[in-house]
Amino acid sequence: MAKPDHSLPRRTLIKGAGVLGATLAGALPQARAADQPADIWSSEYRAKKGDVPLWMYRKRLGAPKAGEAARPVVVFVHGSSVTSRVFDLSVPGKGEYSTMNEFARYGFDCWTLDHENYGKSGRTSGNSDIASGVEDLKAAVEVITRETGQRKFHFVGESSGALRAGAYAMVAPERIDRLVFAAFTYKGEGSPTLTKRAEQVDYYRTHNMRKRDREMIRSIATRDKPGTSDPAVMDVLAEVELQFGDQIPTGTYLDMTANLPVVDPEKVLAPVLLVRGEFDGIATVADLEAFYNKLPNGDRQFVILPGTAHSVVLAINRALFWHATRAFLTMPTPIAT
């Protein structure tokens, strides 16, 4: 059984360079949770965005070893109403719901983080909008680079996490290997979800936090198409999420109702996989096609997952998302012509 090396001392805080002046803390090894598969190693990390501490989490097969071959790194970016736990949910009796476990077994070095004002990361008076999320990712990749020795990573974002990843890709193309945008929205035209959400736009403009209670989390399973997600899984998600309180930032909701588009497809240079659930109300097929057609890289795909709605990582048909994403991230390098 691979376990973290608990004999390692906690590393000294290091002053980071760059536009953020980020202070990066070392890895914080943790014991394997009782419900964590024995083949998966995990560790917590800390990054600093200015004075804001950001919690990071990593999973892979076995602890890192000196001299081993580098593994492809994938960074999972969470959305508006949940923390990074959405990518590592344990639901006893329901099968595998941890996307991080699944991709660790595929051979990836999996990372995620809680954005500012989410989960275990620092609390501020800000609203944690898309621009703030970009700065979070800038700080996070410095930690990942230090720990893995790599400088280019895959990014998988869901919902506003896809917007965060896309906006980051525009300003740091040298850091991007391949991008997966799940439950993405471009201009939001014709979106029933965003039309309904826009009724509260004045509230989002004047408040930095909004209510996110148990019923709101449960509605993830029913908002677009009941039956595409298991309500019992959403109950588990609610238990995990509400340990951090019933308030969540408004910034990404404001961006999606008043400031779209926030990602310019012509400035996203990396290969892109767009993934849409068949019944997702956040964006129409036409909206996503408009984005897809403007992407400059010919290495791109648009996949619609049947029997799936907005949350592809917690869908009953989540294996379809895993399959499409794994296939895209492991595409052979094309021969130049």
Query: Is the backbone peptide bond immediately before 261 cis, with ω within 30 degrees of 0?
Result: yes
Nearest to 100 by CA among 47, 149, 33: 33
Tell me how far apart the alpha carbons of residues 136 and 154 are, in angstroms, rounded to a whole number: 16
Pairing verdict, β 23-29 and 14-15: antiparallel
**Range of 44's domain?**
38-329
Q: Across residues 141-149, what is the average pLDDT?
A: 97
Are 28 and 46 spatial neighbours (Cβ–Cβ below 8 Å)? yes
Q: Across residues 230-242, what is the average pLDDT?
A: 97
Q: Among 33-42, 190-199, 240-249, which stretch is predicted with the lowest mean pLDDT?
A: 33-42
- Is 334 part of a structural domain of the chain? no
Query: Any alpha helices (H) in 106-200, and if so which ranges?
Result: 130-148, 160-171, 192-197
- State the CATH number of the domain containing residue 127: 3.40.50.1820
Tell me how far apart the alpha carbons of residues 273 and 161 are, in angstroms, rounded to a whole number: 14
pLDDT value at 28 more than 90? no
- Is 23 part of a structural domain of the chain? no
- Is 77 part of a structural domain of the chain? yes
Where does the chain show beta strands of DSSP type E? 14-15, 23-29, 40-49, 52-61, 73-77, 109-113, 153-158, 176-182, 209-211, 247-249, 272-277, 300-305
- Is 7 part of a structural domain of the chain? no
Tell me how far apart the alpha carbons of residues 201 and 252 are, in angstroms, rounded to a whole number: 11
- Is 289 part of a structural domain of the chain? yes
pLDDT value at 38 more than 90? no
Phi, psi (rounded to 5 degrees) for 146: -65, -40
Tell me how far apart the alpha carbons of residues 48 and 53 are, in angstroms, rounded to a whole number: 5
167-226: per-residue pLDDT in tens? 999 999 999 999 999 999 999 999 999 999 999 999 999 999 999 999 999 998 899 999
Burial of 211 (0-12, 13-18, 19+ CB in 10 A): exposed
- Is 15 part of a structural domain of the chain? no
Structure tokens at 47: 């990054």
282-318: per-residue pLDDT in tens? 999 999 999 999 999 999 999 999 999 999 999 999 9
Number of domains composing the chain? 1
Structure tokens at 256: 């999606």
Supply the mean pLDDT for the chain.
Answer: 90
69-114: per-residue pLDDT in tens? 999 999 999 999 999 999 999 999 999 999 999 999 999 999 999 9
Q: Across residues 329-335, what is the average pLDDT?
A: 91
- Is 47 part of a structural domain of the chain? yes
Structure tokens at 131: 């621009």
- What is the per-residue pLDDT for 10? 31
Q: Coil, strand, or helix at residue 169?
A: helix
Q: Across residues 221-246, what is the average pLDDT?
A: 96
- Is 169 part of a structural domain of the chain? yes
- What is the per-residue pLDDT for 335? 85
- What is the per-residue pLDDT for 5? 38
- What is the per-residue pLDDT for 33? 52
The reported pTM is: 0.90
Rg of the chain over Cα atoms, rounded to whole angstroms, equals 19
